[in-house]
Structure 1
Amino acid sequence: MLTLGVDLAAADKRTAMATIEWLSDRAVVRDLVLDVSDACIVKASHDVDKTGLDCPLGWPGPFVALMTAHQSGHVTVAESEGAQWRRRMAYRLTDEVVREKTGIVPLSVAADRIAHTALRCAGLLAMLAADGQDVDRCGSGKIVEVYPAAALNCWGLTHRGYKGRGQQAQHADLVTALCAAAPWLELGAFEALCRRSHDAFDSVVAALSARAAAMGKATRPNEEQRVIARTEGWIALPTCPPSGLIDMAEA
């Protein structure tokens, strides 16, 4: 099995992509690149079994309805529920599920800078679909939405404080911790890049999360949630420890 992990940014710069090959007793990082274009992502995704995209695959349904209504007139909001109403506009169902399960509040695709990345992702999803890939925003097709920080949290690893200037030591420690938790993971020639770039590291975690989803070892929406997740997207959280990603029976 091959899985692809993409740490998507608003532009090619800072976008990272990792390809992992899964063998019977180990997982090998076969490729790890930075500054990746949409065309490169589509091509790489075509050749793997599952692709994990670290980016919201859609917007909150109530937010979309609000924008449509506001375009043609004015909207009315009861003063007593202003803050709660804004939260419903800002966060998707899957964001609330992640918050409930991990305590992590995902960035709001409706009210944060990640919306720039989501705009790129919307075009990328169209390209993937045009390539014949099954783009089901619930994650049951070729593409699945992943969230590296939440995956690290599920595995009991540090998920905050390893990004940005002056965080090289914390980032290096986290790479070491992941390798200890997953001794079967072979970074090989890409270890230095993984330690140097948190974007590269996140793409590796995205590829690991894609593996969990491919094995059925990640959260899935129930039938009621699927109705919403089909348009908003669904974050697949690993439900197994890192050791559960290795299937000793797989050849």
Structure 2
Amino acid sequence: MHRTYVGIDLAAQPRRTGLAVLREDGERCVLDTVRVGAGDDALIGAVSGAAKAGVDVPLGWPRRFVELLAAHAALELSAPESTGDDWRRDLAMRATDRVVHRRTALTPLSVATDRIAHPALRWAGIEARMRDLGLDVARDGSGTLCEVYPAAALRIWGLAHRGYKGDKNQVPRAALVDTLSAREPSLDWNGHRALCASADDALDAVLAALIAREVDHGRAVPPDPEHLELAHQEGWIWLPRETPQEVGL
């Protein structure tokens, strides 16, 4: 019996959104679909049939940031002792962003202060539609969805995690596809290898699907008890386990 994993590299515009559908059948993993250009309906349809779907976009905003906006709108914001870097950083970063930084030394883009907010706003609308359809859209990864960060996963796997995006980086991106193939010998690109080498949105969608498979098989790190309640609201970036010792995390 096969299981299907979906990877989504979400952009604000459908034309830049990557979508991958990975079918695991025994020891084989076949990429049934890889495309760049996916509207909301296509994404919802793909997620609806997935065992797990990895989404490369923040699923929520920092709780303290949300609370600040509400207090500011109501003219009830308490004056901080300082508006310096630490105060603003604490508002801009989610709990999961800090955990990712501690583990990988990579800092996810801030959904509160960076342009990643535009894809996140699109996802908020998609999430609402999926919730209306009865899909389990829990942001902590306990349902169908899990938030992913391909660059951090690549770093944990010991693969090139920088310098593979954009038209100018076709050569290193093709090299990354080669090394990923060597690491995942069961992966059947099914005719989609060239697209992934030429378009980073397609490659990131494939990586998101592969990470979703890791989550489904218990080979990724869930929210720790300290952050579980926050993860329900803010989202949680699922990172692959690096070593056997991490199984107890």
TM-score (norm: length of structure 2):
0.93
2:101 corresponds to 1:112? no
Partner of 2:38: 36
- Distance of 2:224 and 2:114 partners within structure 1: 27
Q: Secondary structure at the match of 1:200?
A: helix
Contact 1:139 1:234 (C-alpha < 8 Å) held by counterparts:
yes
1:148 aligns to what?
150
Secondary structure class of the residue paired with 2:79: coil
Do structure 1's residue 123 and structure 2's residue 125 form an aligned pair?
A: yes
SS of alignment partner, residue 13 of structure 1 = helix
Are the counterparts in 2 of residues 7 and 54 from structure 1 also a CA contact under 8 Å?
yes
Q: Distance in 2 between matches of 1:204 and 1:240?
A: 19
Q: What amino acid is aligned across from residue 207 of structure 1 in structure 2?
A: A
- In the other structure, the counterpart of 1:164 is 166
1:198-224 C-alpha deviation (Å, 9 max, x unpaired): 000000000000001111111111223
Aligned to 2:89: 87
2:62 alignment counterpart: 60
Question: How far has the Cα of 1:26 moved from its partner?
Answer: 1.8
One-letter code aligned to 2:50: V
How far the C-alpha of 1:164 sits from its partner, in A, is 1.7
RMSD: 1.2
Matches within 5 A, 1:216-227: 216-227=218-229
Rounded Cα–Cα distance in structure 1 between residues aligned with 2:131 and 2:150: 24
Q: Counterpart of 2:179?
A: 177
1:78 and 2:81 are equivalent in the alignment: yes
1:215 aligns with 2:217: yes
Give me the whole-angstrom Cα distance separating, in 1, the residues matched to 2:222 and 2:49.
Answer: 24
Measured against aligned partners, the alpha-carbon deviations of 1:180-234 in whole angstroms (never above 9, x if no partner) come to 1111111121111111100000000000000011111111112231111110000
CA contact 1:175–1:195 (8 Å) conserved in 2: yes
| Matched residue, 1:23 | 25
SS at match of 1:77: coil
CA distance in 1, matches of 2:93, 2:54: 21
- Structure 1 counterpart SS, 2:6: strand
1:248 corresponds in structure 2 to none
* 1:130-145 equivalent positions in 2, closer than 5 A: 130-145=132-147
Residue 238, structure 1, aligned to residue 240, structure 2: yes
1: distance between equivalents of 2:80 and 2:216? 42
Match of 2:102 in 1: 100
Q: CA deviation at 1:154?
A: 1.1
Contact 1:66 1:75 in 2 (8 A): no
One-letter amino acid of the structure 2 residue matched with residue 67 of structure 1: L
Which whole-Å deviations, capped at 9, do the CAs of 1:24-71 have from their partners, x for residues lacking one? Answer: 222110111111011111111111111111000000000001111111
Partner of 1:192: 194
Q: Distance in 1 between matches of 2:167 and 2:44?
A: 31
Gaps of 5+ in 2: 244-249
Q: Which runs of 4+ in 1 moved over 6 A?
A: none
Following the alignment from structure 2 to structure 1, what is the Cα–Cα distance between the partners of residues 62 and 119? Answer: 15
* One-letter amino acid of the counterpart of residue 230, structure 2: I
